[in-house]
Structure 1
Amino acid sequence: MDPLCSSTLYSSAQASLSSSLLFSTKHRDKTTPRRHTPRVPRRELFIFRCADASTRRPQQAVAMSFGFESLKETLTIDVGRAEGRPLDVPLARPFTIASSRLDRVGNVAVRVELQNGSVGWGEAPVLPSVTAEDQSSALAAAADACRFLVRSPPMTLGAVLADVGRMLPGHDLASVRAGFEMALIDAAANSIRIPLWRLFGGASNSITTDITIPIVSPSEAAELAAKYCRQGFSTLKLKVGKDLNSDIEVLRAIRSVHPDCSFILDANEGYKSHQAIEVLDKLHAMGVTPILFEQPVHRDDWEGLHVVSHIAKDKYGVSVAADESCRSLADAHKIIQGNLAHVINIKLAKLGTGHGLFWSSGCWPWLFQFH
């Protein structure tokens, strides 16, 4: 039995048959890929992204890509079974930001099994303050996508991804689209026994990441900061935006226990433009320069975003990131063309895997945070 709660399972008539992968070279691989069952991710890691790889000694990785773009055109996919399942997990502690509080995760897990037995997993993260879907609407859309996939004839990976994009279009269904794209790409990689990092050309097997401190009291923030300092984190992402003076006190408390850390501020739309500038001014007086100031104003306050971005960079040397303001490719174009921010925060749940990868790889010299 798979580790997640099962919901409706869709299966094509030939689900018991094993089909081989067809390549444009007409090569046929008759080896049955090894099945795998993924572990359910720990929700503590969901809250704080991932463990800081800087605490481990980096190892030299072989820079080798098996060409995802080429694979899309040469690998034939034949889906045998597909399902969407509720993924309900309580968080280890409440996660509070300026715009909302999260006590549990209610996402959708996506499982795709090809006719040759290869399995791929994806996840549709749904959060109404970020995504257009809630869990119930995401499950309904996932059920429709499952029926579509198992009734589809064999086609190239690129073609099936394009079909998924047409069936689950735009921002309104981006989270579900991302979950199915992840599952299909994972199944394709497992079919040829290639890890995803190599499929996409990863050149390193370690990364350095920040860790997030939600909106908490100064004493709680200091406790978390001390813990993360011991764990080796050198950059803290601090959620702010509910109360300007309280935010400054929290930052002072963190500095008292982790004086050498760098900061990312994330206001999650919590400030007015003049408040965002005031925060930067107070931090400047303390000798603190954040390495990034994320979504300082409301998502639709384009003028405020523009003003804060320019003052932050020109006066304080701080880059400003657009997150909630970037909900679609049209928003990304608007931000870039209007020079409204220095960084765009890309979330697969907002754009889908395909568009997210396109924007993160194809828009240099713009800087992107990729989630």
Structure 2
Amino acid sequence: MTAHKERPDIILETRDVCRLFGDKAAWFGEKRVVRAVDGVSLGIRRGETLAVVGESGCGKSTLARLLVRLLRPTSGAVIYEGRDIAALSDSEMRGLRRDLQFVFQDPFSSLNPRMTVGALIEEPLRVHGLGNRAERRRRVAQLLERVGLSPEFAGRYPHEFSGGQRQRIGIARALASGPKVVIGDEPVSALDVSIQAQVINLLEDLKEEFHLTLILIAHDLAVIRHMSDRVAVMYLGEIVELAETDDLYARPLHPYTQALMRAIPVASPHVPAMQAGLKGDVPSPLAPPPGCRFHTRCPLATSLCAERKPALAAVGEGRLVACHHWREAAEAAPELRREPPRSPAAERRFALYQERSEQQERLRTAPAAGSQSQRGEPQNA
């Protein structure tokens, strides 16, 4: 396994990660390759909430699965606390599974219908050898209560619950092993709008309580507006813009990000709906366009865009964009330029992130305490 230099502020990182899917076409045995994730480099800070957004089929879910090695990358590295998890053996990876947990999009198919809720939540504890039987059951009851369900529900089966309740069960199961990183793959997209807000608020509260690093996959920018610290925008397997949430919403720089912003519905009859301004359909991932992959739909595209691929380059402090004409794009969208003050929730998130970063730095330079309680493990009676 290749050693990687650990950055104390980064807990999880991808370096030029690619994931290809190939099959045999029906005609003449032609080989077709889908570049689901293509050259993504991304660092996730400790204690932050990072949202990854984009249209369906852009590679968000594939990237999420690469981050926890539910899929292996075709090339590139996925670094978790200095270790390339893509290069670990299955037995080595099992030791890290408790640190990296996943909340799936479908709250029904992700739960085994033959297992009770208590058994589903207890399974991670049993697999990782955490606590005895009584301690595990006590932990299950605590987690059910924490996600807003009665501990008495432990003996019931998933089909006896609503979609929102099943997603709460999935969240409790993800928290059971005391993870450091939780990835939610569109965790509220299958829920009613009224339930979405409840689950989002629950995730935000749990993140602060359990000191989690949270990665949210979404296609709706409105969903992650008030709970993410940074936003990465994906298009056809590539990241086209990365920025702090307030900066992105105040002044989106990439034409594709601007189109996503215009697609957010406004709940007011007095505000006219904005047109996305895109032309054509999403290109096939089997044959992505040359140069900038967005140029076939971009209103600002020139011959340069079709000939040369733009690099994801820094255009300000903590801000990256992959566009040859981002300055023109910013000037061409005055209706999207807003300079709102940082919300109280964002200020609180930023203060918490700063505090956690300082704590992590102190822990890194101090002797390890080796306390199990910091990882959320069951305690001895």
With structure 2 as the length reference, what TM-score do the two structures score? 0.26
With structure 1 as the length reference, what TM-score do the two structures score? 0.26
With CA pairs under 8 Å and 6+ residues apart, which has the higher RCO, 1 or 2?
2
